[in-house]
Structure 1
Amino acid sequence: MSVHDDLTSVQRCLEDLNRSVGRLEQQLGSGGLEMRRVRSDADHLRESVALLREAANTGTPGKRPELVTISDDPYDINLWTDTDDEGLGARDRHAP
């Protein structure tokens, strides 16, 4: 199954979920905390699937950042001289 087919299937399920939530709202009312949370969760799912669909259409779903190579060469020791030790204060002072 392709990504497009999977997204279409998820979209159909979300439409069914929204219809069911709508029926529950009619029966139970929409003012209760539980019902508002269910409605909010269903709306968030719909928004998330829309974002996935956009990513799939642009061809960059889950694109990984470019890797950065870090050299195994030792650092220049001069980088660490004449600096304060972070969190320990300056060398010529002491903690209160």
Structure 2
Amino acid sequence: MSVHDDLTAIQRCLDELARSVGRLEKQLGTGGIEMRRVRTDVNHLRESVALLRDASAGPAPQRKPELVTIPDTPYDDSLWVDTDDEGLGARDRRAP
């Protein structure tokens, strides 16, 4: 069997499981924590199979990273007025 066939078989089994859980809920009621856990587990299994199906479809086409152009012109000196040179101290003081 191919992966697609296996995933289809799993999906059919999950659909049958969901129908069986629905019938069981009608008989036992939906208020118990046990029934809520079973319903949640069925939903998680459905999501997991959907993820497997997406992953088995093949790798997504790789995109080229977007290039960022950095200009060669110097930065405006007014951007650095209120900063100190790191490790060198303040501009108006001498290092020891």
Q: TM-score, normalised by structure 1?
A: 0.60
Q: Which residue of 2 aligns with 1:90?
A: none
Say whether 1:7 aligns with 2:7.
Answer: yes
Q: Which residue of 2 aligns with 1:50?
A: 50
Q: Which residue of 2 aligns with 1:28?
A: 28
**Residue 58 of structure 1, CA deviation:** 2.6
- Structure 1 gap segments, 5+ residues each: 61-96
Identity fraction in percent: 72
Q: 2: CA distance between counterparts of 1:11 and 1:59?
A: 22
Q: 1: CA distance between counterparts of 2:45 and 2:57?
A: 18
Query: Would you identify which runs of 4 or more consecutive aligned residues in structure 1 move more than 4 Å?
Result: none
Question: What is the RMSD of the two structures over their aligned residues, measured on CA atoms?
Answer: 1.2
Worse-superposed segment, 51-60 or 25-34:
51-60
Name the SS of the counterpart of 2:57 in structure 1.
helix
| Alignment size in residue pairs | 60
- Structure 2 gap segments, 5+ residues each: 61-96
Matches within 5 A, 1:15-94: 15-59=15-59
Name the SS of the counterpart of 1:31 in structure 2.
coil
**Residue 4 of structure 1, CA deviation:** 0.2
Q: 2: CA distance between counterparts of 1:30 and 1:57?
A: 36
Deviation by residue 1:47-68 (Cα, 9 ceiling, x = unmatched): 00000000011348xxxxxxxx
